[in-house]
Chain A
Amino acid sequence: MSTIVQDQKYRNSQKRKDAFISTFIGFFAFVWIFPILWTIWTSLRPYSDVVSYGVFSWPKRLNFDNYFAAFKQMHILGYFLNSLYVTIPAVIITLFLGSLIAFVVSRYKFKFSLPLLLVFTAGNMLPAVLVYIPVFWMYIWVGDLVGNRNFLYNNYLGLILIHVAFQTGFATFVLSSYMKTIPKEISESAIVDGASVFTHYWRVILPLIRPPLAALGVLMTTWIYNDFFWALILVSQDSKRPITSGLRRLNGEFVTDFNLLAAGAILAAAPTVILFFVLRKQFISGLTLGSTKG
């Protein structure tokens, strides 16, 4: 009897504690999302209203004018397309190359399998500035060689290649740890049936790794789309800038009209936020495939 009473008491105090914790975390959740809400709010107001009535004034007008203006004055659509032209090929090539190495390493036991995997995984973690100067110089040099300085530098191709080089390591690592969980018998029976290496990869393994490919695809799209560093240093021509470095330039140019800039920032953020909420499961499993193994 007494233990039950005690239990009841314990549970009540636990409940009170949970309610407190929930309120606390809820309060911070509001603080967390507030800057985004504030940016959206700012983007819906004309700049002139803020100037004449103050930051906290009750809005006289709320509309989407800043968004239309962002397309018209900021050429945000062009930046969007540039991001798209870089991100999509980069993600596809990264997944393809990663799956090739992962396939060889996990299905054929060669002596160099582990060192190869280590080199690829480590490559993903090198500081970007460590390769900056030689890559930059190489891009110019190759450009001179083919007679067009903007062949790699200032071009989508150069950005795609550097993203592929950096991200392949992560894709290889995630895909190889997934492939290790595919039963060996599947490969053995394919080999007994006389399948060539290519058939083994293309018809047997590739269809089986669709889930991690999807997860990685979502994750890498977010990463590459969000990249700022390479977009900053490998593109100086405005018409070729991806949205992240484009936004930075706008930040300088439209510094006096921050309601317009707010609309630009929301537009730039929209694709990854939408992608995340639509494909949330893939995004999270993509991140955790790489971190919770072991």
Chain B
Amino acid sequence: MNTTAADKKVRSRRSLSRNDRFTLSAFVGFPTFVQLIFLWIPALATILLSFTYWNGIRISDIKWAGFANYKNIFLNDTLFYEALKNNLIWLLWFSLIATPLGILLAYQIDRKIKGHKIYESIYYIPVVLSLAVIGIIWNFMFQPGGFIQGLMGRDIGNAVSIWGNYKINTYVIMAVASWRHIGYIMLLYLSGLKSVDPSLKEASAIDGATDWQTFRKVILPAMKPVNIIIVVITLIESLRAFDLVFIIYGSSTSWPLLNILVYQNFAGQGISMKGAALAVILLLLCIGPIIGYLRTVFKEDL
């Protein structure tokens, strides 16, 4: 039985006409070509460039630098450590506060509490907004003439700077970033919860489990694949953060992030391959989550 099946497979592959084989190669070849040209070859090129000195103008000017760019970053660059710290704050805030809040919100809305439909829609809205729009919307809250300024009793003439206040701007940025992230996590988790067998929840309720116990002992383990995806998304989003901070501060390094530093080295006044080295460092930080993601979604195939 097994052999005939294998036979059949072999035969069906052999039976592909020349035309069919050509079609298949084109089907695979063309998208692969696009991926190679625009993603993988440029990615490799950046990795190579991170070991060179280059001002980005003439190819002939490229000079081998060894690890000089990396050494420069790790030994002399205080901005790098500041950016790393901010990315880390972002990551901690998202992992410890925003993501758990999104999960709890999903859990409550899944229980169909009063008004859950309206609440759901409201929490979704920021998810479909561009971070560029989000930056501007929140500017209306904090800038001179904005709502928060009004609350503090300050009109346009005597406003205080909130983005420029180094004691609070980190928290404000985190709050604004969470505005979108919480809804995003809630959306992902909610659809996962809908696929959990309802009899599981009922059974635990009949057994007299409290809400918290049901959530921790029944729901959380049943949602393992979704949990991993959410952890990965949280990590990647924290490392890749760029848009929001760029809208607020532009390319200045008032509140640096790794991505902002790369941008500054590539699009600032002078192009420097220190940016390539920073991009590679970012890639190294992302590799763990990427592998985690691939292992989860291709669990059955690997």
Contact = CB atoms under 8 A, between A and B. Distances in A.
B40 A123 contact: yes
Contacts of A168: 31, 34-35
A122 B267 CA distance: 26
A138 B42 contact: yes
A262 interface: yes
Contacts of A273: 125, 128-129
- Which of A25, A121, A261 counts the most chain B CB atoms within 10 A? A25
A5 to B, nearest CB: 15
Contacts of B12: 191
B136 A247 contact: yes
A290 B135 CA distance: 27
Given A32-B123, A292-B226, A114 B298 contact: yes
A114 B115 CA distance: 45
Contact of B114 (A22, A98, A166, A288): A22
A122 B294 contact: yes
A182 interface: no
Interface string A236-249: 00000000110110
A3 to B, nearest CB: 11
A186 interface: no
Nearest to B240: A127
A125 B236 contact: yes
Contact of A132 (B138, B192, B243, B279): B279
Interface stretch (B74-82, B88-96, B139-147, B166-174): B139-147
A269 B119 contact: no
Interface stretch (A65-73, A194-202, A206-214): A194-202
Interface residues of A, number: 101
Interface in A92-136: 97-98, 100-101, 103-104, 108-109, 114, 116-123, 125-136
A127 B283 contact: yes
Given A38-B140, A127-B240, A198-B23, A132 B31 contact: no
B137 A36 contact: yes
Contacts of A229: 242-243
A25 B226 contact: no
A251 B138 contact: no
B9 A291 contact: no
A269 B24 contact: no
A194 to B, nearest CB: 10
Counting chain A CB atoms within 10 Å of each CB, the highest count among B113, B179, B289, B296 belongs to B113
Contact of A228 (B121, B130, B280): B130
Contacts of B197: none
Contact of B42 (A25, A51, A134): A134
A226 interface: yes
Contacts, number: 288
A97 B108 CA distance: 39
A173 B297 contact: yes
Given A22-B113, A55-B145, A118-B298, A269 B130 contact: yes
A294 B299 CA distance: 7
A129 B145 contact: no
Interface of A is mostly: helix
A235 interface: no
B46 interface: yes
Contacts of B45: 133-134
A221 to B, nearest CB: 10
A28 B130 CA distance: 21
A222 to B, nearest CB: 6
B119 A101 contact: no
A54 B128 contact: no
A136 B49 CA distance: 14
A42 interface: yes
Given A104-B27, A127-B240, A284 B187 contact: yes
A29 B118 contact: yes
B150 A284 contact: no
B188 A268 contact: no
B149 A55 contact: yes
A133 B46 contact: yes
Given A18-B114, A165-B39, A25 B119 contact: yes
B8 to A, nearest CB: 9
21 contacts: A39-B136, A50-B145, A54-B155, A56-B150, A97-B34, A98-B31, A103-B27, A104-B27, A109-B9, A129-B259, A132-B266, A161-B38, A165-B34, A165-B37, A196-B23, A222-B128, A251-B247, A265-B133, A280-B124, A287-B188, A291-B229
Given A123-B35, A125-B286, A232-B246, 15 more contacts: A35-B141, A100-B27, A119-B40, A126-B43, A127-B286, A131-B43, A138-B42, A168-B35, A197-B19, A228-B243, A244-B132, A276-B124, A291-B230, A292-B192, A293-B225
Pairs A-B, 5 closest by C-beta atoms: A165-B38, A55-B150, A226-B130, A134-B42, A131-B42
Interface of B: 9, 12-13, 16-17, 19-20, 23-24, 27-28, 30-32, 34-35, 37-43, 45-46, 49, 56, 105, 108-109, 111, 113-115, 118-119, 121-126, 128-133, 135-141, 143, 145-147, 149-150, 155-156, 179, 183, 187-188, 191-192, 195, 211, 225-226, 229-230, 233, 236, 239-240, 242-243, 246-247, 259, 262-263, 266-267, 271, 275-276, 278-280, 282-283, 286, 289-290, 293-294, 296-302
